[in-house]
Chain A
């Protein structure tokens, strides 16, 4: 089997823990041991791909087996495109995973209100569904002016999203087209 650089690092890491580093003039073992005690100790590695530009650099997320939280992210050294390198954005992946400014509750803003209110998913999805149905049924064009069947919802529009995974994009477009939307647009257009 051909060793990848990552495998090599793992093996050489294990080896140095057991060997005196005679050639190096001082003993790195305590430093090494300490660093291994750090956040990535026992962490689970999951490969992912950067969410920003479409170079598609590989990133490894380290997840603490104790907390289930991402504790560290780094470039995927095995990835043939980036070979472990990341630009400033990809290198900041950790701050997407751990960021106290993330929105963590559904928010609702009533007509003419000045503030957001927190809502439950259940209430929210039901309310949105009602509005989708009402708008769709009210704006549905079964036949156009020439009498041709068009089965189209003219009152709801959608933008987004290059931020979704492929599987989500496909599912999303299926839903929109089943509802009859034709104004379907996203980032690729701008």
Chain B
């Protein structure tokens, strides 16, 4: 989230799309309801009428997988009806930038497409540059090659009739949503978007979100209280685990994983440290070399020196251009490329798309380690349905771990708050905290490398800093401090002295010469000389906006609303004076920011008399140009979002272009990867979702009697019309089948689902929760991911589990 949970209450219009927040993030509704009681309209756009819809002021149905058509129509509405915030677009976004001559868009394809490689040459999407090395701009937004005009042209095709025929949303509903949301385009109003996996789990997932980000920029909603782009993240610490780089493409703190072509740290820094010729751009990533050096210092301690480039050569290098994502990982495991597998607190036998492929893949391993609280379908895959244990050679180690109230440490919520948790009891039996398991396991591994003089490349194993034990136990405080970072020698910075061993007070002080360590620059300030900031429990709220700046701590540097320099005008006055996130206040001739921690302390872009202040910086400090990207030339599938159908879809034609599906979507080719579009055997759209009482694959909820009693087994929801057509009654057992798998589920026949009219035809949609698995409860059903396809977004490789094709029939008894 750019903003945070409590901030939702500050919103003037709440759009919930790609999320069923009332059921899946229930306590968010404390703040949605607070806003609603103050008169804020709440809009829900979703294929199903859920409890979120029931609470909303406006509900609009949408066929799963057509969000870009819906939102593209909103962009057209905003521009045609002059609802956009021109001053904001001209100054704080790249809307005024002139795009180079090589860029074009024709019939669904952007310039630079290579059909053979299924890849775009992104260099054709570059901006036109001036001689001074800065992009050419036209702040009147009238140049036909400026981003704003190209945007207008791009979405001219997204008229109400076309959008409605694709999405199945009635035109009246589209208009109601567009009018209500576009009303936040005035300077003193902000709308917010609450989205979740309903947007990410598509082959156009990134572009779904970019499309909304464009709307937020057109309306001037970024940086403001009650605005922003807000991902409702599904796991209590999925924000933290992402921040700390448990992903193939990033090291902690969003530092790209080094690739083979970057043999030295100097080469790495050169490639990943952006430059800007604009003196008004803070270009924050120019600091990247400091963060990399500090990370390596915290990993390798004294072994990391400037002379050996802080042991950069010890970091594993990926092949250039190769992806090692979840889908790739299981695809390669299926193709017998690995011997060992560590599965730490996750259940891919149920959570992965095309789950049967994952279950098969695990039989190709020599050994695997599963760490969990409860038995699960991954650990026990060798005795799953249809599996003969005698045929499965994989050795499995199941390590029982502590629950969250059985250890101490922090987790980071969706609003980026790092919150400290305390230990309330010992783990049961011989279960151990994960931290102790990691420490002990690596100690054993390291002992083997010490013994074996012939061991392969032992240096990183032997030299990894590993002193996080106090009294024989994993010490979360000691790691939290290492993540924050230390001075590694006595230094003086800006007349202030710091001693070797002092905690670094903020990432602004991190250095690239080895004089600082920091496990994750973004968390620098979380644990300082003042103590453990993540454990703070003070409830002051001086702004009245619910920032609660002394409750826990949030990254970066406790800034509760990021991009907040965009919430003020060029002189530093809040666009919305009633809800000022920050404000430039001049006292005795000296100016300073009040309110939230600003995105940098530089003065506003203009002085009080309207002259430019050359000490200022533009608000989007992480972007080299200092402004937000309406034209996003870093995305793999195009600088503007374009509607494409899901890879499995119910239509043969895309009325917007000749291109039916995303031309660069990630696809895989094993015998297990079967995709069927417009196959009469699979005529209905399928989608997956969650219920309040269960969580993810259910490993941490199915074993809790209170929760299981409330939602005891798999079901499939369908409309009354579809049920009639298939002779299914409410409560019957139904069979749901996709090209990849088959499930039995209790039929729930409901008015909450209605058929869609798509290109003049009736299209039915069914939905299933994905919380179940064969281990427990007996007859509870199995994972809905047995049905979903392992195809992915080209940028993130997140699988398309929200839109695929199925058949349903009544189970004959």
Which residues of A are in contact with B by a Cβ distance under 8 Å? 2, 4, 44, 46-59, 61-63, 68-70, 73, 78, 80-83, 85-90, 92-93, 95-97, 99, 101-114, 116, 121, 124-133, 135-140, 142, 144, 146, 148-190
Contacts and interface: CB of A to CB of B under 8 A. Distances in A.
Contact of A161 (B201, B344, B457): B344
Contacts of A81: 5-6, 27, 30, 413
Given A179-B461, A182-B257, A53 B316 contact: no
Nearest to B526: A166
A51 B236 contact: yes
Nearest to A5: B539
6 A-B pairs with the lowest CB-CB distances in the bound complex, closest first: A104-B429, A56-B413, A165-B409, A160-B344, A163-B345, A161-B345
A175 B464 contact: yes
Prevailing SS type, chain A contact patch: mixed
Contact of A190 (B252, B351, B417, B480): B351
Contacts of A170: 244, 252, 479, 482-483, 519-520
A182 to B, nearest CB: 5
A148 B261 contact: yes
14 contacts: A82-B30, A87-B27, A95-B705, A96-B373, A131-B339, A159-B343, A162-B237, A163-B236, A165-B410, A165-B421, A167-B476, A173-B252, A177-B251, A190-B801
A155 B424 contact: no
A172 B346 CA distance: 14
B763 interface: no
A50 to B, nearest CB: 6
A155 B479 contact: no
A178 B460 contact: yes
Given A97-B403, A106-B399, A121-B432, A161 B246 contact: yes
A105 B395 contact: no
B773 interface: no
Nearest to A148: B260
Most buried by B among A58, A105, A162: A162
B383 A114 contact: yes
A80 B411 contact: no
B333 A157 contact: yes
B449 interface: yes
Contact of A169 (B240, B426, B468, B710): B240
B340 A155 contact: yes
B409 A166 contact: yes
A183 B318 CA distance: 9
Interface string B372-386: 111100010011000
Contacts of B284: none
B338 interface: yes
B324 A182 contact: yes
A157 B340 contact: yes
Contacts of B479: 167-168, 170-171
Nearest to B1: A54
A52 B236 contact: yes
A160 B234 contact: no
A59 B420 CA distance: 12
Contacts, number: 488
A103 to B, nearest CB: 4
Contact of B438 (A133, A144, A168): A168
Contacts of A184: 245-248, 324
B707 A159 contact: no
Contacts of B6: 80-81
Contact of A150 (B24, B260, B551): B260
Interface stretch (B57-65, B668-676, B695-703): B695-703
Interface residues of B, number: 166
Contact of A82 (B27, B247, B455, B700): B27
B391 interface: yes
A140 B518 CA distance: 28
A99 B329 contact: no
B30 A54 contact: no
A170 B439 CA distance: 12
A146 B261 CA distance: 10
A2 B538 CA distance: 10
B430 interface: yes
Contact of B367 (A61, A113, A131): A131
Contact of B398 (A83, A111, A114, A116): A116
A102 B139 CA distance: 62
A148 B441 CA distance: 31
Contact of A163 (B237, B260, B397, B546): B237
Interface string B392-429: 11111111100111110111111101110111111011
Nearest to B446: A129
A106 B405 contact: no
Contact of A56 (B382, B397, B419, B430): B419
B338 A157 contact: yes
B382 A190 contact: no
B441 A129 contact: yes
Given A125-B441, A142-B457, 14 more contacts: A53-B233, A56-B411, A70-B424, A81-B27, A128-B397, A129-B444, A133-B452, A162-B240, A163-B237, A167-B435, A172-B344, A172-B434, A182-B324, A184-B248
A181 B317 CA distance: 9
B693 A89 contact: yes
A69 B405 CA distance: 11
B341 interface: yes
A102 B241 contact: no
Contacts of A189: 247, 325-326, 796-798
Contacts of A48: 404-405, 421-422, 424
Given A182-B248, A189-B798, A162 B431 contact: no
Contact of A61 (B5, B236, B314, B405): B405
Nearest to B365: A157
B405 A162 contact: no
A102 B343 CA distance: 18
B634 interface: no
Interface string B22-33: 001111101000
A44 B405 CA distance: 13
Contacts of B548: 80
Contact of B445 (A133, A154, A166): A133
B197 to A, nearest CB: 9
Nearest to B537: A78
Contact of A108 (B25, B396, B413, B476): B396
A80 B260 contact: no
A178 B458 CA distance: 9
Contacts of B468: 167, 171
B348 interface: yes
Given A53-B235, A103-B400, A159-B329, A164 B440 contact: no
Contacts of A90: 27
Contacts of B776: 101
Contact of B411 (A116, A125, A132, A166): A166
Interface string B328-365: 11001100011111111110100111000000000000
A103 B427 CA distance: 10
A174 B445 CA distance: 14
B395 A111 contact: yes
